[in-house]
Amino acid sequence: MTATTAHGITYPTGSDKIKDLPDHLKQMADSIDTAITANNALPVVVATKTALDAVNATAGRIGIVTNDTSGNNGPYIHNGTGWTRGSVTLGPGVFEFREVTNWRPEYRAWLSAGTVHLSLRLNRKVDMGAMAIFSTESVGRILVDKFKPPYYMHLPAFTGQSTTNSPAVAFGIQIQPAGNILIEALQNNVGIKAGGNVQAMLTWPCAFN
């Protein structure tokens, strides 16, 4: 008598007759097709990104675009709400960047393959006087422990508006394991005028990765 796995795939047992083997194999093949389809195990292969966007799927299913513009071709992963390149957007539930007296932050962030990617722009609201090297000012924080770095991160930033002789390397961004995010002076007597900005593209491994 044919038996069935937990996923609905059938297979012959010792009591099945050899003369019925073709029927058993067909039944097994059909049950495999049904199990794969029911569990969204097959990739969705379509010609264009527009066609892929029209397909509803469960989180984790793979989609492949084959014949669109070059920037749209390739693999995608469904995140439960739409097709992505395998990244998840991180927002206010993960980061806190508040406008304060000195700075008005702007940011976008993603999680991809266990790595956080944070695009950060800090707009200066008032003149900054001369800061000593390695002095810091708090600009934000990470709220969720699993997205915090496993160790202190000192990452480069860029501005063309510093009052030092080498403005491009005047500032960096420090990210602490506790989640604090700070702007850091990388030169002595560094400063920036009101209306200037500091920009950085920051990446770090998550503590849980």
β partners of residue 121? 106, 199
Residue 38 has pLDDT above 70, yes or no: no
CB count in 10 Å sphere of residue 167: 19
The domains of the chain, with CATH numbers, are 3-38 (no CATH), 44-85 (no CATH), 90-205 (2.60.40)
Of the listed ranges 44-48, 166-170, 176-180, the least confidently predicted one is: 166-170
**Confidence band, pLDDT 50/70/90 cuts, at residue 31:** confident
171 against 161, higher pLDDT: 171
Can you tell me the mean pLDDT for 9-35? 73
Nearest to 203 by CA among 111, 134, 140: 111
Find how far residue 159's CA is from the centre of its chain.
26
Evaluate whether 30 touches 60 at the Cβ level (below 8 Å): no
Residue 1 has pLDDT above 60, yes or no: no
**Confidence band, pLDDT 50/70/90 cuts, at residue 87:** confident
**Confidence band, pLDDT 50/70/90 cuts, at residue 182:** very high
What is the pTM for the complete model shown?
Answer: 0.68
> For residue 57, which amino acid is it?
A
Residue 22 has pLDDT above 90, yes or no: no
Can you tell me the mean pLDDT for 15-38? 72
Evaluate whether 174 touches 122 at the Cβ level (below 8 Å): no
